[in-house]
Copies of this chain bind each other. A is one copy, B any other.
Amino acid sequence: MLPTSIVIHEEGPREGFQFERQFIATARKLELIEALAQTGLAQIQVVSFVNPKRVPNMADADEVVAALRPRDGVRYTGLWLNEQGLERALRAPSLTVAGRIGLCASAPFLARNQNATPESARAAQRRMAGTFLAHGIAVDQGVIQAAFGCNYAGDVPLPVLLQTIADLLDIAAERGERIRMLTLADTMAWATPRSIREIVGAVRDKHPDLDLVLHLHDTRGMGIANAYAGMSMGVRRFDAAVGGLGGCPFAGHKGAAGNVCTEDLVFMCDEMGIETGIDLQCLIEAARLAQDIVGHELPGAVMKGGALSAMRRSLLSAQ
Interface residues of A (CB under 8 A from B): 2, 149, 151-155, 189-190, 192-195, 218-222, 224-225, 227-229, 253-257, 261, 264, 267-268, 271-273, 299-306, 308, 311-312, 315-316
Contacts of A224 in B (CB 8 A): 221-222, 224-225
A155–B268 Cα gap in the complex (Å)?
A: 15
Are B228 and A193 within 8 A (Cβ)?
yes
Residue of B2, B195, B255, B302 near A305 (CB, 8 A) is B255
Contacts of A255 in B (CB 8 A): 301, 303-305
Contacts of A222 in B (CB 8 A): 224, 264, 267-268, 301
Contacts of A219 in B (CB 8 A): 301, 304-305
Are A221 and B305 within 8 A (Cβ)?
yes
Are B220 and A272 within 8 A (Cβ)?
no
- Give how many copies assemble into the complex: 2
Closest residue of B by beta carbon distance from A300 = B221
Are A305 and B193 within 8 A (Cβ)?
no
Are B149 and A221 within 8 A (Cβ)?
no
**Distance between A140 CB and nearest chain B CB, rounded to angstroms:** 31
Are A264 and B221 within 8 A (Cβ)?
yes
Contacts of A194 in B (CB 8 A): 2, 271-273
Are B302 and A220 within 8 A (Cβ)?
yes
Contacts of A220 in B (CB 8 A): 264, 267, 301-302, 305-306, 308
Contacts of A190 in B (CB 8 A): 308
Contacts of A218 in B (CB 8 A): 301
**Distance between A67 CB and nearest chain B CB, rounded to angstroms:** 33
Closest residue of B by beta carbon distance from A193 = B228
30 A–B contacts, CB within 8 A, in A order: A2-B194, A149-B308, A151-B311, A152-B315, A153-B315, A154-B311, A154-B316, A155-B312, A192-B271, A193-B272, A194-B271, A195-B271, A219-B304, A219-B305, A220-B264, A220-B301, A220-B306, A221-B224, A221-B302, A221-B305, A222-B264, A222-B267, A222-B301, A224-B225, A225-B225, A228-B228, A254-B304, A254-B305, A255-B304, A257-B305
Closest residue of B by beta carbon distance from A226 = B225
A149–B301 Cα gap in the complex (Å)?
A: 18
Residue of B189, B272, B301 near A221 (CB, 8 A) is B301
Q: Which 6 A-B pairs have the closest CB atoms?
A: A255-B304, A221-B301, A219-B305, A225-B225, A221-B264, A194-B272
**Distance between A156 CB and nearest chain B CB, rounded to angstroms:** 12
A288–B172 Cα gap in the complex (Å)?
A: 48
**Distance between A298 CB and nearest chain B CB, rounded to angstroms:** 11
Closest residue of B by beta carbon distance from A273 = B194
Contacts of A300 in B (CB 8 A): 221
> Which residue, A225, A229, A316, has most C-beta atoms of chain B within 10 A?
A225
Contacts of A228 in B (CB 8 A): 193, 225, 228-229
A308–B194 Cα gap in the complex (Å)?
A: 15
Contacts of A264 in B (CB 8 A): 220-222
Are A189 and B271 within 8 A (Cβ)?
no
